[in-house]
Structure 1
Amino acid sequence: MNRTLRPSRDFTPAVPVLGAYDPIVSLFTQERRWRSALLSQLAPKPGEVIADIGCGTGSFLVLLALLGKDAAPGQLVGIDPDERILERARRKLADAGVACELRQGYLRDAARLLAPLRPDKIVSSLVLHQVPLAEKRAGLAAIHAALRPGGELHMADYGLQRTRTMRWLFKLVQAVDGVQDTQPNADGIVPTLMREAGFAEVEETAVIPTPTGSISLYRGIRPATDDRQEQPA
C-alpha cells in the first residue's frame, strides 16, 4: 500500500505486482465499508471541485463521478506520485467513462498542483500513515493552502488503535510500511496535526475495525476568514 515519499528515494511502489493492489486493499482494509462512509461524509454537491490526494488507482474518483446528477461534482482531480499507479487509474477511469484530470505529485505538492482550482473539498485515504512525521505536517499544510477558504478536508486513514486487538492487527501494516512512520497515527496524532496545519472544527467522525487495525474518518475545515498565505510553488 506504500506509494509515498521517502527521504532516501522518491517513493516505494505500491506492491511488487501492481495488479494485486486493488484486491489487497479490498481484502485487508474492509474497503467497501470505509469508502462508503467516506463518500457519505464528503457529501459531494453538483458543481464542486474535488481533489483526491494519493488517489491510487482511482477507485474513489470513479465512485464520485458515477453519482447521480444531483450529487456528481463539477470537476475531479487526482494526484499520486507513482506514474504506474496513475496509468492504471487512467485505464480504470476511461473504462468507466469518467472525465478526470490526473496529476503526478506528493502530498506536499498539493498547493502548487491545485493552485488554479482552489478545490471546495479535498479527500485523501490511506496515505498519511505511510509518510514521515515531517511529511505529514508538510502535506497537511499544503492541503490547507490548496483549499478555498471554507473548503473541507476529508480523510480515511489508520488512526488511534484503541484496543489490544487493533494494535496487534496494526502490526501487519507496520510490517509493510514501517513502525517509525506509522506509529504516530496509531498513537492518535492525526487530529493534532490537522489543527496545527490550520484546520478548524477537526473531528474524528468514525472508527472502523478492519483486519489490519482500525481506520478512522476525519474532517476539518479551512476557516472562511483564513488569511494564511499559500505555500510557494
Structure 2
Amino acid sequence: MPDPKPVARSYTPAAGYHFLTPFYDFGVAVTTRERVWRDRLVRHMALGEGDVILDIGSGTGNLALAIARHSRDVRYLGFDPDEAATRIARTKTAQIVPPPEFRVGFFAASAIDDWPSPSKIAICLVLHQVGLEEKARLLREARQVLAPGGKLYVTDYGEQRSRLMRLLFRLTIQQLDGVQDTQPNADGLLPVLMREAGFCDVRELETFRTPTGAIAIIEARKPGT
C-alpha cells in the first residue's frame, strides 16, 4: 500500500543553489532585513523557561542565535534537509548554552519521535521554496507534533499587496526559486493552508517590506489546552 503522506525528497537549498550555501547568511541579511524580522519573531514567540522550540528548516542556525540573544533556559531543536547548512549551524551555535540540537533530514512527525513535543514551532523562509502539496504536508506534520494549545509561527514571503512589492518579489525571489513554488505565497495562501492543516486563531502579526518583497510573521494555534 502506498504511503498516504509521502515525504518530499527534493527542496530548494539555501540561496537557491548548493554552491551558494556559504554565502547564504550574507545574502539573506542584505536582501531580507533578517536581523529585524528574526528579533521581532522571537519577541512575538514570548519564550519562557522550559519552552521547547522546534525550528523546521533551521538552515544555518540564525534563529537559534536570535533566540539565544533574547531567551534563556529554552530547548531548541532544529531540523533541515541540507547537511552543508546544518554543519554551518552547528559551528555558529557551538557556544550557546544550553546547546541547540540539530538533525538532518526531510521533516516528518515520525522523524522526531524521540524529541519532546514542542510548545512552539517556527518555519522561516521555507514554505516559499517548496511546492503547494509540500507546503500543506509540512503544516500538517507540524500540527501533529505540536503540543495541544501550542503556537506555530510561519515567517516567510506572504501576500505581495503593493505593486512595488510584487515587482521586487518577481525580480528576485521568483527568479531564484521559480514561479510555481513561490506564487502561492505571493497570492496570500499561507493563512488558508494553515487553517486547512487544522490550526486556529491564524493571524498576521507583522509585515516587513524588504528589497526582495514583503515578509510576514503569521501566528496560529493548535486547538487544545
TM-score, L = length of structure 1: 0.87
Distance (whole Å) between structure 2 residues aligned to residue 169 and residue 94 of structure 1: 36
- 1:120 is matched with 119
Consecutive unaligned residues in structure 1, runs of 5 or more: 1-5, 226-233
Code of the aligned partner of 2:141: A
Q: Does 1:198 align with 2:198?
A: yes
Deviation readout 1:167-215 (Å, 9 max, x if unpaired)? 0000110000000000000000000000000001000111110000000
- 1:3 is matched with none
Matches within 5 A, 1:55-204: 55-67=58-70, 71-96=71-96, 99-107=99-107, 109=108, 111-115=109-113, 116-171=115-170, 172-204=172-204
Code of the aligned partner of 1:164: R
Deviation at 1:10, TM superposition (A): 3.0
User: 31-40 or 143-152, which moves further after superposition?
Assistant: 31-40
Distance (whole Å) between structure 2 residues aligned to residue 79 and residue 224 of structure 1: 25
Deviation at 1:62, TM superposition (A): 1.6
Distance (whole Å) between structure 2 residues aligned to residue 73 and residue 123 of structure 1: 18
Distance (whole Å) between structure 1 residues aligned to residue 190 and residue 10 of structure 2: 23
Deviation at 1:33, TM superposition (A): 1.4
Give the conservation status (yes or no) of the 8 Å contact 2:205–2:216: yes
Distance (whole Å) between structure 2 residues aligned to residue 119 and residue 174 of structure 1: 32
Give the conservation status (yes or no) of the 8 Å contact 1:54–1:106: no
Code of the aligned partner of 2:214: S
Partner secondary structure for residue 204 of structure 2: strand
Alpha-carbon distance change, 128 to 73 in structure 1, aligned in 2, over 3 angstroms: farther
Deviation at 1:36, TM superposition (A): 1.6
Give the conservation status (yes or no) of the 8 Å contact 1:155–1:217: yes
| % identical aligned pairs | 44
CA RMSD of superposed structures (Å): 1.7
Give the conservation status (yes or no) of the 8 Å contact 1:207–1:216: yes
Code of the aligned partner of 1:44: L
Q: Does 1:213 align with 2:213?
A: yes
- 1:24 is matched with 27
Give the conservation status (yes or no) of the 8 Å contact 2:57–2:126: yes
Distance (whole Å) between structure 1 residues aligned to residue 159 and residue 36 of structure 2: 18
TM-score, L = length of structure 2: 0.90
- 1:230 is matched with none
Deviation at 1:114, TM superposition (A): 3.1
Code of the aligned partner of 1:46: E
Runs of 4 or more consecutive aligned structure 1 residues displaced over 4 Å after TM superposition: 95-98
Distance (whole Å) between structure 2 residues aligned to residue 114 and residue 65 of structure 1: 22
Distance (whole Å) between structure 2 residues aligned to residue 148 and residue 73 of structure 1: 18
User: 112-121 or 55-64, which moves further after superposition?
Assistant: 112-121
Alpha-carbon distance change, 164 to 10 in structure 1, aligned in 2, over 3 angstroms: same
Consecutive unaligned residues in structure 2, runs of 5 or more: 1-6
Code of the aligned partner of 2:112: L
- 2:4 is matched with none
Code of the aligned partner of 1:112: S
